[in-house]
A and B are shown apart, each in its own frame.
Chain A
Amino acid sequence: MDHLDQLEAQSIYIFREAFARLKKIALLWSLGKDSNVMIWLARKAFFGRLPFPALHVDTGKKFPEMYRFRDHYGKEWELDLRVEPCPPIDAVDPTLPPAARSAARKTEGLKMALTKYGFDGLIAGIRRDEEATRAKERVFSPRGLEGNWDVRDQPPEFWDHFNASPPQGAHLRIHPILHWTEADIWAYTKRENIPIIPLYLSQNGKRYRSLGDQDITNPVASTASNIDEILIELEQTKVPERAGRALDHETEDAFERLRVAGYL
C-alpha cells in the first residue's frame, strides 16, 4: 500500500462515516482540483455513485472554463447537482476589505442553501497545508447556528473517532481530504486520470495554482504544462498555493475572519 493508497483509504473511511452518521449531507463542489478529487473519492467510497447532492454555491463570477466543466461532468458523473446563487454584494459585511467582501458572498450563499435544504452535514475539500487556519481544523468540524466556527472550542478527535452530533439546527463540516497536500492532489489526479480544468496548466508562462472567482484570482508565473511538470514545480517552489488569491493578502486576519464566519 503506497502513500496515495493510504490517503485514499483514509478519505473513503471519512466519507462512509459521514454518510452513516449524518442524516442529510451534501458535497460542496467548487469545480477546482481538490473538489474533483473529492468527488472521485466519494465515488470510490460508494462504488460509482454519489448518494447525496453535489452543491455548487455559485457567485456567478467563475471562469467560463469552470462552468463548461461543471455542466459536462455534472452530467457524465450523474451528479444530483444543485446550483445555488449568492446574494448581491450589498448583503455582505461592508467592513471587510474588497476581495474578502467579494468572497464572503459565498458564505452567505452557503447559509441560504443550508436553510433551504436543511443539511446537517456539508462535505468540503479543504486541506491543512493550504492555509494556517485550515491547519487547525478537525475532520468533523461543528458549526454554530449561524454557520460560525469556534476555533477555541473544538471537540477532541481521537484516532478515527469523530464527533458527529451537531446541535439542533446547526451543521457539521466534514473534511475528507484534510490530510492531503497539494502535491498529493496532483499525483492522485494523474494516477486516477481525473479530468481537470485546463486553467491549471501553463499558458504564456502563467497558470492558476488555485481557482476562485475571476475578479479575485490571479495566475502565477509557471511553465508547467502537464501534471508531471506541476509536481516538479511544487517540489521546488517557495510560492504558497494561495498566492494568487487576493483575499488572503488584504489584511492579516481577513481570511480568519471569513472562516470564523463560516467561509470554507
Chain B
Amino acid sequence: MNMIVTPASPATPNGTNSMPNGTTRPQVRIVIVGHVDHGKSTLVGRLLHETGSLPDGKLEMLKAVSARRGMPFEWSFLLDALQTERDQGITIDTTQIRFRTNSRDIVLIDAPGHAEFLRNMITGASQADGAVLIIDALEGVRDQTRRHGYLLHLLGVKQVAVVVNKMDRVDFSADRFKAISDEISAHLNGLGVTPTAVIPISARDGDGVAERTDRIDWYKGPTVVEALDRLEPARPLEALALRLPVQAIYKFDDRRIVAGRIESGSLIAGDEIVIMPAGKIAKIKTVENWPVTPVATRQGAGRSVGITLDRELFIERGDIISHVNVAPRETRRLRARIFWLHDKPLAKGDQILVRSGPKESRATVVAIEKAVDPGELESRENKAIGRNHVGEIDISLSSSIAADPYTENPRTGRLVIEVSGRIAGGGLVLSVDAGQRAVPVDIVPVESALRPDERSARYRHNGAVVWLTGLPASGKSTLAKALERRLFTNGGSPILLDGDTVRAGLNSDLGFSAADRSENIRRLAEVATHLARNGHIAIVAAVSPAREDRATARRIADSSFREIHVATPAEICEERDPKGHYKKARAGALASFTGIGNDYERPEAAELVIDTSTRTVADAADEIEQMLKTTGVLFDEVVDLAANI
C-alpha cells in the first residue's frame, strides 16, 4: 500500500506504532461490511480523502477517470483503480489500507469478493478490532446486513459502528434514520453486540464522514472519523498470558531446542514454565537464535523462537508452553462455534481432524447444538451444519489437548477442522470442558535420589521397556515370564507389566473402544517408562494391536524402547486359546476381540520377531537376551549372582 498513502510506520503486535518522536499511537484494525452497493467503496474513498491519506495527484486522476467515462465524480473509482493496479501487478498489497485519524492509526482490512465472502471475512475480519456496518438509507436493513452482523458476532468483533449511508436519497429524513437505527440496533443487541454509534451519512457528498453538515444538523452523535477515533485497540497480545505452542523439537547439535511462535505473552531465560497438557514443569535455560546466540532480551508475542530447558522432558509438537500459574486447560472436550465450508454437511457422529495451532487431534462430533444460515438467522436444525452455514458443536477429542476459550486468548482459542486432508471449516473455542488436571501448578516431578549409573552398577543393565506385542495367545505372557525369571536370576531388576493385570487395576476405567485402547497403551507406556528411567527392565506383554498406539509408546519411552513382535501364526494362537477368548469370540460373546477380526497391525520395524510355534521358550528367551545385549541394555559379562548365594 506504500503507493497510495503516506508511509505508515511499522506496526507492532501490541497495537501501537512507534512514532519518530518516541511516542506511540494506538493501531486499530477495522473491517467495512454491508450489503452490495450500499456504498462500501465510496465510504473508503471518502475516508482516505478526508483523512489526507491520498497521495498527490490521486484526486486529479480520479476526476479524469470520471470525466472520461462521462460520469459525475465517483469515489468508488479509487478502490477500483487500486484493484486494476493490483491486477497489473504494480501496486503492493491492497488487502490492507492504512490511514490516520487524530489519535489512531487505522488499518482497513479489505475483504472483497462476494462468492468467497465467508472465507475472506474469516481470514481478514477475524483479525479486526472493530467493524463498520454500512446500510443504504433507502433500502434499509437487508438479509445481507443481518448476515454480516451475525458474522461479526461469530468472530467476536464487539465494536461495531453502524453507518446509514445515502441519506441524500431520503432527503436527510430524521424519521427514516431513526427507523433504520432502531431496527439494526435491536438486531445487533439480540446478538449481544451494542453498536458504538449509528451515524447518518452521505459518503459521496461527505455529510457525517468527517463533518456534521447542515443537512444533518438534527444529528448529535459522532462522525465516522470520530467514531473510528474512539475504537479501542485489541487487547495487546503481549499483555496476555504466555502461550508458546510447540512446532518442533530440534536436535541438530548438542542443544535440544524447543521451537515455536509465541502467540501471546512473553518469555525470557530463567522463567519457570509448564508444558501442557502433561503439566510438566521446567525452567527456560536459554533462548537460542542464529547467527548470534543465546538471546538475553525478553521475547514477546509474534516472535518465532527456540528455547532450551533445564531438564530433559518428553515434549511433542502441539504441546503448549506457558507460565506456571496461568496455564491453559487440559481437556478432551470442547465446545466451538464454527463456520462450515465443505460440500458435505458436518453431522453429529462425524469423525473429524481438529487442528488447534500445531496440535492435531482426531475427534468426534458429539452434538450439533445450533445450525444457522447466517442470512436467515433461524436455527434450522440440530443434526448437521450445511455449507456456508454456522453452528455450535460439542467435540470429543481422542487425546488431551491444551486449549483456551477465545474470549481469554484469541490466538489459542481458534481451531480448524480438516476433512480428507483439506481444511473444511474452522472457528472459535467457546468453552473448554476442563479435565481433572485443570490447575497444573502443583505438579513438580520429583527426581530420584539415585543416579542412573548407581542403579546400572548394581543391576548390570540399563533401564529399558521391552514391549511384547502380538495376537492373543501368541505366547507373550509366557515369554515375558521366562524373561523376567532369566533377568532376575542374573541379578537384574525386571518387572512384568501384563496388559490384563494392569487393566484389572490402574486401567479398570477403560473399555475396548479405539480411544480407550489408545489410552490403555499410553498409561502402560508411561508406567513402564517410569520404571525404565529408574533402572528397571519393564517387560510389557500387551496385544497392542494399533501401530499408532505402539508408536506413541515408543515416543514416550524414547531410546529405552525395544519392541518384540511375537509373530505366532493366527491359527496356532486360536488352537492354543488358553483363556478361551477365541472360543467366546467365535460364539459372538466377546465384542472387540483382536484376533478374529483383522485389526491387528503387524509391526514394521520391531527390534526382534519371534514365532513361538517353532521353538522352545528357553530358546526364545535366549534370543531376547542376546538382543538386549547387542542393543546396549544388558552388559556384556552377565554375572550369575544368584548362583553365588
Contacts and interface: CB of A to CB of B under 8 A. Distances in A.
Contact of A16 (B86, B259, B288, B414): B259
A2 B418 CA distance: 34
B421 interface: yes
A2 to B, nearest CB: 5
A19 B248 contact: yes
Interface string A17-50: 1011000000000000000000000011111110
B250 A157 contact: no
Contacts of B123: 156-159
A242 B2 CA distance: 18
B291 interface: yes
B12 A2 contact: yes
Contact of A9 (B122, B253, B302): B302
B417 to A, nearest CB: 10
Contacts of A159: 123, 126, 414, 416, 426
A128 B93 contact: yes
Interface residues of B, number: 48
Interface residues of A, number: 45
Given A17-B247, A47-B290, A135 B89 contact: yes
Given A13-B247, A16-B259, A240-B89, A44 B289 contact: yes
A163 B421 contact: yes
5 contacts: A1-B300, A48-B290, A132-B86, A163-B422, A165-B418
B89 A20 contact: no
B416 A161 contact: yes
A9 B303 contact: yes
Given A9-B261, A13-B304, A156-B423, A238 B90 contact: yes
Contact of B288 (A8, A47, A167): A47
Interface string A232-259: 0001001010100000000000000000
Contacts, number: 118
Contacts of B358: 17, 20
Nearest to A12: B304
Interface of A: 1-6, 8-10, 12-13, 16-17, 19-20, 43-49, 51, 128-132, 135, 155-159, 161, 163, 165, 167, 179, 181, 183, 235, 238, 240, 242
B348 interface: no
Contacts of A4: 10
A48 B257 CA distance: 12
Interface string B397-439: 0000000000000000010101001110010000000000000
Interface in B1-38: 2, 10-13, 18
B421 A47 contact: no
Interface string B250-286: 1011010101110000000000000000000000000
Nearest to B427: A158
Contacts of B12: 1-2
Given A4-B10, A5-B302, A44-B290, 7 more contacts: A1-B300, A3-B10, A6-B11, A16-B247, A17-B247, A45-B304, A165-B421
B259 A156 contact: no
A181 B10 CA distance: 14
B601 to A, nearest CB: 20
B11 A47 contact: no
Given A5-B303, A6-B13, A161 B426 contact: yes
A15 to B, nearest CB: 9
A6 B306 CA distance: 16
B422 A181 contact: no
A48 B126 contact: no
B89 A130 contact: yes
A165 B422 CA distance: 7
B293 to A, nearest CB: 7
Contact of A49 (B93, B126, B252, B341): B252
Contacts of B260: 16
A67 B10 CA distance: 36
Contact of B247 (A9, A20, A242): A20
B89 A132 contact: yes
A156 B341 contact: yes
B2 A235 contact: yes
Nearest to A8: B304
Contacts of B637: none
A17 to B, nearest CB: 7
B317 A20 contact: yes
B423 A9 contact: no
Interface string B46-75: 000000000000000000000000000000
B92 interface: yes
A159 B260 CA distance: 16
B429 to A, nearest CB: 13
Contacts of A16: 247-248, 259-260, 304
A2 B10 contact: yes
A45 B259 CA distance: 8
A183 to B, nearest CB: 7
B355 interface: yes
Contact of A48 (B93, B122, B291, B304): B291
B306 A47 contact: yes
A120 B257 CA distance: 25
- 9 nearest A-B residue pairs (beta carbon): A165-B421, A3-B10, A12-B304, A161-B416, A9-B304, A16-B247, A132-B89, A48-B290, A158-B426
Nearest to A239: B90
B88 interface: yes
